[in-house]
Structure 1
Amino acid sequence: MSDHIYQAIWNEDADRFSVGTRNVDGDWTDMTADILLDEQVKAKGSRQIDLAANPLFARVDFDKMAASDLYQSFIRLLDNYAVHFRDPETISPAERDEIEGFLDLVIASRPMQIAFEHISAELVRDMTAETFRRDLFRMWFEVYTNFFRGKSTHFCTGFEHVFVGEGKYKKGANSASEKGEISGYHSWVKFALDELNNRVDYLGYKYDLGGPGPENPHVVTLQMVWNHQDMTGNLVAELFKSKGGFFVGSSPACEFALGTLAYYEGLHGLLTNQKKRVQLGEGKFDLVMYHETTADGSLGQHIRSFYPVFLGDGSTRTDDSGNVVVRPRTVEMQNDGPLRILSALPNPPGDDQGTEWVEIWNAGAADIDLTGYELRDKMGRPQPVEAVVLIAGAVLKVSVTRATVHHMQMSNRKGLITLHDSSGEMLASVNYGQAAEGAVLTFAERLGG
């Protein structure tokens, strides 16, 4: 049995990030963790309905990530691929060097050493280190054509599909941006970076079995939107994934080792329905491994996809019918301090650029200097507030400029508006649902106003 090898790979991941989640009362289980994972609420099931008011990653220690050669080498690979699944993929000499550098680090890691020792002893007898390295390059990085149910998909690579993701959408249509679907995209590092740069929107968790973060902090199953932008920041396609997921905190070396072992076991008929059931830490998982399908229907020598399915653990709570009991955390709004968000116009008639606004009311008894203050949206994108002294009882109208894609954007469907002081502390927060065109939303009652 090889089940214990997967656990050994998991246990020896020295480059793992620690993860803290929220308990059923909404408090963080470990405020000192490298990652604070905020799963919040169950997804509604539609790309148009976003119930998660906050990002999935409340905090990531990006300084730790920047100091790691392994993570930085992995990140350098993420921009080597075209988003559209039919666009040609080639490997330039510079990209080949980046791949080889990443493989150096992965092969030297303890998780991959454990995988190699087992594979060479039990699956591919007397495999040399050189042969293993060539296999790693081929299965993860070599460009191939996949044949499935009579259809061929060109320009496939295992790394792109698993860790970067691919977009399926129409090209060259008349609208400013297209709606499409996400294929692959099973990397917490990629999602955290995309969320940091406002390229993805977390819509909520989506589990069949198991529960959200408090049940197991090292995995998430979710619904998401990936906003594919061109080089100038214009939105090209809004890509939706109704159900996807990834490990959280595990290093690229660990995930490569788990996937590589599952790949070889699949070739030797040791998977059940293309899945390997394993215990990793406190959780039970199905590791799903899809191999390339060749033109004759046999298993090829490339990886098509690899991802975890969380099956729960001993702490999973169920009701009398066996259904998982999840206690969603509601995001508490606060708008009762001296500074309050009075009203907003999220959906002005015509073009939204520069015509949206938010009013801030000084409901206190003292004047307040607003230097360094800013409004933010759900994704944390800022709209700086004018550096003025707001006298007691006065109201300041702040224009939401949408100066760049990295600045505050007010959604017409559902939104969150927060006000922060110069130190970043949140002073007020409000949310809203569907905003009709031209409707001014009121969040506070201004006495005598």
Structure 2
Amino acid sequence: MARSDPELSRICTHLWSIDENRLAPGADYEINLQGGTKRYWKRDQASEPLFTFVSREALEKKTYRTFIALLDNYEKETKVPETVTPQEERENWAFLNAIVETKVMKEAHKYLVSKGKTDSNEDRFKRHLYKIWFQLYRRTRDTKVSDSSGFEHVFVGETRASSGGRPNAVLGFHNWIQFYLQEKAGNVDYRGYLMNREPEGPHSRFLTIQFSWKCENKPEGSTFIGTSPEFEVALYTIIYLLGNHGDNHVQVDQYRVNIKCYHHGGNMGTSFPIELD
């Protein structure tokens, strides 16, 4: 069994502790877990939505508001070319400008500079973040179009056509805010939590779940709940820039998690948490 990296665990837990914009369970959000399921079960174990409520005021915080503005900027299907309009580019920069002013991102920046992984100049750091998260690339070799980005994959989600008449697969989609908004819009069907990961209840802050998105399936997906956009960007950026491909066993507050991270050339391919036993 891989052991947690003590130094990496310390910075991850520190970022968690200073995440001022993290939502409080019970006050800012509540979830309805309903039934447990397993990865390949077809039966829907949850007749009601996952989220009972999320505070509207909390989602009006600047980093949330600028994050939400990005969620409709992408084509869902892979192999469909992405374009970035001038307005969308302004929205990308508005989000980065908002998050670099938070304690979480300032600490992440300082840590990465100490490791020689990014520039100490804030503007150059933001350009580095832009390249990692927003630069477009081809997700698969069998397409010639730029159809993806790190931000789209991790935070928004994508779909890929499956062969043999099977349903399309949901790729990425590891963010609770996107899940809540898509569920509220009627596009997501929560199908239950994975029973191999016993959740904490209606105030859970980490979940492994099964769901469908516009009738396309995600048999297993894991996500933090209530964390701010800047916390997740900071966490995944650190893992990415440290060059830690694949498994990264760390302690984040009370949670033992494996932060999976894969590069796609010089960009973020994917990053997401898996809770460890």
TM-score by length of 2: 0.90
The structure-2 alpha-carbon separation of the partners of 1:308 and 1:216, relative to structure 1 and needing over 3 Å to count, comes to farther
CA 1:125 to 1:144, structure 2 compared with 1: closer, same or farther past 3 Å?
closer
Larger CA Rg, structure 1 vs 2: 1
Counterpart for residue 139 of structure 1 = 132
The answer to whether the aligner puts 1:278 opposite 2:250 as a matched pair is: yes
Distance between the aligned counterparts of 2:93 and 2:99, measured in 1? 10
The answer to whether the 8 Å contact 2:33/2:50 transfers is yes
2:272 matches 1:307: yes
Amino acid at match of 2:236: G
What aligned pairs does 1:12-161 form with structure 2 within 5 A after superposition?
A: 12-19=18-25, 32-46=26-40, 48-65=42-59, 67-124=60-117, 127-146=120-139, 154-161=146-153
Report how far residue 55 of structure 1 moved. Answer: 1.2
Q: Which runs of 5+ in 2 are unaligned?
A: 1-6
1:301/1:52 Cα in 2 relative to 1: closer, same or farther (>3 Å)? Answer: same
User: Percent identity between the aligned chains?
Assistant: 30
> What corresponds to 1:219 in structure 2?
206
Distance in 1 (alpha carbons) for counterparts of 2:274 and 2:61 = 28
Mapped pair 1:163 → 2:163: no
Is the Cα–Cα contact under 8 Å of residues 15 and 104 in structure 2 kept in the other structure?
yes
Q: Tell me if the contact between 1:39 and 1:213 (Cα under 8 Å) persists in the aligned partners.
A: no
Q: Distance in 2 between matches of 1:87 and 1:151?
A: 12
Does the C-alpha gap of structure 1 residues 264 and 116 become closer, same or farther in structure 2, counting only changes over 3 Å? same
Q: How does 1:401-420 map to 2 (within 5 A)?
A: none
Q: How does 1:418-429 map to 2 (within 5 A)?
A: none
What does the per-residue CA deviation read over 1:81-137, in whole Å, with 9 as the maximum and x for residues that have no partner?
Answer: 001111100111000000000000111111111111011012337542222111100
Count of residues in Structure 1 that have an aligned counterpart in Structure 2:
269
Query: RMSD over aligned Cα, in angstroms?
Result: 2.3
**SS state of the match for residue 94, structure 2?**
helix
TM-score with structure 1 setting the length: 0.56
Larger RCO, structure (CA 8 Å, separation 6 or more): 2
Higher helix content, 1 or 2: 2
Q: Does 1:5 align with 2:11?
A: yes
The separation in 1 between residues aligned to 2:129 and 2:153, in whole angstroms, is 15
Counterparts in 2 of 1:63 and 1:126: CA distance versus 1, 3 Å? closer
Indicate conservation of the 8 Å contact 1:44/1:51, yes or no. no
Higher strand share: 1
The gaps in structure 1 that reach 5 residues or longer are 20-31, 228-237, 293-299, 313-449
- Conserved? CA contact 1:16–1:251, under 8 Å: yes
Q: 1:278: how far off?
A: 1.4
